[in-house]
Chain A
Amino acid sequence: MTFRSKLFWVFTIALLLSVGLIASGVTVLTRRAFEDVNHRHSEALVAQFEREFERRKQDVVHRVQGVAEEGPTTRMAVALSLPRGDASVYVNDARGSSESHQLDFLDFLGNDGSIISSAEWPARFGYKMDWVTEPQDWAALGSFLMKVDTQDGPALGLMSVSIVRVGDKNLYVVGGERLDKGFLSSLVLPEGMRALLYLNLDPSFQETNLLDESGPVIRGERFASFIAQEQQQPSDQTFKISWNPADAASAEVFHALPLVGRQKELLGVLLVGNSQWEIVILERRIIQLAFVVVAIGLLIGLIMSWWGAARVTRPVTRLSEVARKVSEGDWAARADVRGRSEMGQLAGAFNRMTEQLSTQQERLIQAERVAAWRELARRLAHELKNPLFPLQTTVENLRRAREQNPEQFDEVFRESTGILLAEIENLKTIVGRFSDFAKLPQPELASVNLNDVVRGAVKLFEGQFGAVGRPPITPELHLDESLPAIQADSTLLNRAIENLILNAMDAMPAGGVLMLRTTHENGDVDLEISDTGTGLTPEECDRLFTPYYTTKQHGTGLGLAIVQSVVSDHGGRISVESETGVGTSFHIHLPSKPPQRVVSISALPPDDLPEQPAGEGA
């Protein structure tokens, strides 16, 4: 991942985290604020309901008392107190009084509690309302909630009882106001709130008993479980109803206030609902705003990261370019030092390091050159010393034979000149090998199938693998037939492979298995040549590719150096793995196409090569 990408992602993640945290915080705080406001609204509405309730209670008491105190009622009480008082005359009086005093319910009851006249159920005359005659201080009680039987069914009423006493006879005036949707419409509701009233007139939940200010509540069945809880245990409770599960804005939080009667029986439930619409919409807007901020932030982050990365990485890129040049051998390349920033200091340090490395490189090259020449001199001395000694001895024998045995001189001369010629030939061979190594040509690239080269090289040695008088060597070829062609010099590759096969045969004097395997990856090809020979020590592996180094008695130490030179000229790599007594494996990696500029290792001193893999001396 580039520095620019990293910077972009760091910037983006930081922005997302900060915006997310802010959005979450704002959302939480907003929600709490809304909940607090809603709670206060609910409390205010409940308080308003209680005030309105109390006001109506007082109003009902006054109106019922007004009925009881008016003249016709008094005359009725007087008439009924007489021994032959006729209640039937007053059967229709309640309706008129209830209308004039705006009471929904009004009953005149005789001394025994029997109904004389009923406004809400005129046909119910003569029946008794025994509860009125129970000992009770009705004046002190004021008004109370009660389930009232009417002609149209039970209703919930805010009732009051007033007594007109004449002599020892009572006339009870029971009146009240219906508690229904009309009562709800008198409440002033803030926006987003509503008040519902459940009339607990039936043993189980009845949807039609749940009212709002316009009538029965739509989808009132959703309240059934909450009302059932109130019926089991009346108490203040809060619950939430989601009208549309797919839309959180449809949710509504309800506060339930039980309404109880004279005997503490549950007669109704006031439900104050708070719509969650506003808070959900606000939350959505906050989230939408957060997304917009994030999007803008991402855009800004992209620009900032591009600009910042460009600003930060430009010196790094320049330094990297200089480092690349240096790595390619341009020791004169220097970084541009600007300012006294960290990057300036880094560029200065890089330049100083490059200068020091360049100096040390020069010194090292010089030292290596000296060492190489010394090694070459030592090798040449060693190689030349061997033929020189027989030459010296032969010449001395010739001189001695002429002085001491002239008669045998001709014979000695003939033998000695033969030896001299052989040794001179040997010297010429040695010089020729060195000349060949020095004159190793640059590869002439063409499309080459490495498998064909391997097969050709192996075929060349087939006769030697099973030659009479030596233990057999079994070649095993594991060639990938899907191997792609590469740009290479088949002659040089063939020469390198032959050298490796020769080395392997030399490593297996007792016979064994020679395995050649080709593979490929991403267009590059790999060649593995393994033997089951005597193997090499780690020290031998370290020096294996050093020119003129050999582990054999008659080797020149140039075979593997040539192999490495060929591989390197093709832009490839060679490495060796070996274990004493087990065998040795050479791994050659060749690119599909050599780089344009290939530094020939033959032109460099041994220690100046890109790699110094160990190798088996040729």
Chain B
Amino acid sequence: MSKRLAAISVAVGFLLVALPAATSRRPRYGGTLRVEIGAMVNSLDPAVPAASPEEAIAKQGINALLYDHQEADGTFAGVAGSGPFRIAAWEPGKHVTLAANDDFRDGRPFVDGVEIQMSRAAPDRLLDVEVGKADLAEIPAEEARDAADRGVHVSMSEPEELIALVFVAGRPAGDDARLREALARSVDRAAIVNFILQKTGEPAGGLLPQWLSGTAFLFSTAVDAPGAKELVSQIGGSPRIVLGYDSGDSLEQSIAERIAVNARDAGIALTAVAAGRGSASADLDARLVRLPMHSTHPGEALASFVATLAPIGGIDATPLPAGATADQIYGRERSIVATFRVTPLVRFPRVFGLSARVRNWKAPLPGERLPLADVWLEGDAQ
């Protein structure tokens, strides 16, 4: 008897707990998703070029929500508003409000609308998500761990964005391959990942991530300070290398300063200096370059990297043949890295902070649009 009563009590308790939970997992329509981004988008017209890479990425992301789909060449198909959302309000450079497109071919989005606040600094974005003023914001990878510790729901993509050290073509300091190799050997990538990226990311020996190419493990990421010293001693001393980093990028600055410490330990005279983004100033011997990934296809991803690196580092820009095999991709990747003109350092994911009411969010793969049409909000009236 007592066993029966106990079983009934457990069953009732289970129903009392599980029923609301089951109800909460059910998709709900309605509500407005508040998104904050750091970039300032001044025009949503795809034909108008963006003023900065951040604006270009943000513009791409917003337009991906407005158009039906994107062609392989990057152009958007259809008209604005044919996508899951349409523009409800637009104040260039400040914010844009998107309304759900009831006629979207894949179905109406769950949320009624999306409010995108622009020009929000990373700490403010994280704070807004933490206090519930924003529902979704991309946050720096190095902040992911801290954000999680602070109770923010954190969503990460696969490690995709690469930071690499590139010797600027034509600069005499980078002429000696032994010096370039010595610098590559001296860098403690693991320390950068552990301390600077707070373990959000992975050391990168190759250009493509392991999850994409399957060959990244073939590239060494280990620090080899003795080997670096030996190479420096063979050279007979190091010329001063000026390493530039983006003056507005604290992650690049931290990595550059760490590289300077490692280089100094190996006997390489390296000075980290702030510089303009992407510039190959005449005063810079090398610079750090961010390489975001735009495709989940290895060949396309590598081609995109090469297109970015070739003008700076003077590497071979010959395009891979169409339908290049994995071996060909690996061979090209290996040939680039073997010159030590490009030294992959670390790779890290895109990190998103989510408020507690966001449901059904999944970090997009490279090239995919933000899955805002699939997100629904907990607690908002239907």
B145 lies within 8 A of chain A by Cβ: yes
Interfacial residues, chain B to chain A (CB-CB below 8 A): 145, 188, 191, 194-196, 198-199, 254, 257-258, 260-261, 265
In contact, B199 and A88 (Cβ under 8 angstroms): yes
How far apart are A123's CB and chain B's nearest CB, in angstroms? Answer: 4
**Cβ contacts A116-135/B at 8 Å (1 or 0 each):** 00000111111100000000
How far apart are A120's CB and chain B's nearest CB, in angstroms? Answer: 12
In contact, B188 and A126 (Cβ under 8 angstroms): yes
A-B pair number, CB within 8 angstroms: 27
Query: A420 CA to B257 CA in the complex, in Å?
Result: 158
In contact, B261 and A91 (Cβ under 8 angstroms): no
In contact, B194 and A122 (Cβ under 8 angstroms): no
Residues on the B chain within 8 Å of A151, using CB: 257
In contact, A88 and B198 (Cβ under 8 angstroms): yes
In contact, B198 and A124 (Cβ under 8 angstroms): no
Closest to B149 in A: A89
Residues on the B chain within 8 Å of A121, using CB: 261
In contact, A126 and B257 (Cβ under 8 angstroms): no
Query: A135 CA to B199 CA in the complex, in Å?
Result: 34
How far apart are B167's CB and chain A's nearest CB, in angstroms? Answer: 20
Question: What does DSSP make chain A's interface, helix, strand, loop or mixed?
Answer: loop
Residues on the B chain within 8 Å of A91, using CB: 195-196, 198
* Interface size bracket, A side: 10 to 19
How far apart are B87's CB and chain A's nearest CB, in angstroms? Answer: 40
How far apart are B43's CB and chain A's nearest CB, in angstroms? Answer: 38
Closest to B258 in A: A123
Closest to A151 in B: B257
Question: What does DSSP make chain B's interface, helix, strand, loop or mixed?
Answer: helix
Query: A128 CA to B206 CA in the complex, in Å?
Result: 30
Interfacial residues, chain A to chain B (CB-CB below 8 A): 88-89, 91, 121-127, 151
Query: Given A88-B198, A91-B195, are A123 and B254 also a contact pair (CB < 8 Å)?
Result: yes
| Interface residue from B198, B254, B261 paired with A89 (Cβ < 8 Å) | B198
In contact, A124 and B195 (Cβ under 8 angstroms): no
6 A-B pairs closest in CB distance: A123-B257, A123-B258, A91-B195, A88-B194, A88-B195, A123-B261
Residues on the B chain within 8 Å of A122, using CB: 254, 257
Query: Given A89-B145, A151-B257, are A125 and B191 also a contact pair (CB < 8 Å)?
Result: yes
Additional A-B contacts beyond A123-B254, A125-B191, A126-B188 (6; CB < 8 A): A88-B195, A88-B198, A123-B257, A125-B195, A127-B261, A151-B257
Query: A126 CA to B254 CA in the complex, in Å?
Result: 14
How far apart are B79's CB and chain A's nearest CB, in angstroms? Answer: 48
Q: List 12 A-B contacts (CB under 8 A).
A: A88-B194, A88-B199, A89-B198, A91-B195, A121-B261, A123-B254, A123-B257, A123-B258, A123-B261, A125-B195, A126-B195, A151-B257
In contact, A124 and B199 (Cβ under 8 angstroms): no
Residues on the A chain within 8 Å of B265, using CB: 127
Residues on the B chain within 8 Å of A124, using CB: 261
Residues on the B chain within 8 Å of A126, using CB: 188, 191, 195
How far apart are A352's CB and chain B's nearest CB, in angstroms? Answer: 111
Max chain B CB contacts within 10 Å: which of A123, A124, A151? Answer: A123
Residues on the A chain within 8 Å of B194, using CB: 88
Residues on the B chain within 8 Å of A127, using CB: 261, 265
Residues on the B chain within 8 Å of A125, using CB: 191, 195, 258
In contact, A123 and B198 (Cβ under 8 angstroms): no
How far apart are A541's CB and chain B's nearest CB, in angstroms? Answer: 111
| Interface residue from B145, B199, B260 paired with A123 (Cβ < 8 Å) | B260
Query: A170 CA to B188 CA in the complex, in Å?
Result: 25
Max chain A CB contacts within 10 Å: which of B188, B194, B260, B265? Answer: B194
Query: A124 CA to B260 CA in the complex, in Å?
Result: 9
How far apart are A599's CB and chain B's nearest CB, in angstroms? Answer: 113
How far apart are A302's CB and chain B's nearest CB, in angstroms? Answer: 78
Query: A125 CA to B196 CA in the complex, in Å?
Result: 10
Residues on the A chain within 8 Å of B195, using CB: 88, 91, 125-126
How far apart are B269's CB and chain A's nearest CB, in angstroms? Answer: 12
Query: A616 CA to B265 CA in the complex, in Å?
Result: 123
Residues on the B chain within 8 Å of A89, using CB: 145, 198
Max chain A CB contacts within 10 Å: which of B196, B199, B260, B261? Answer: B261
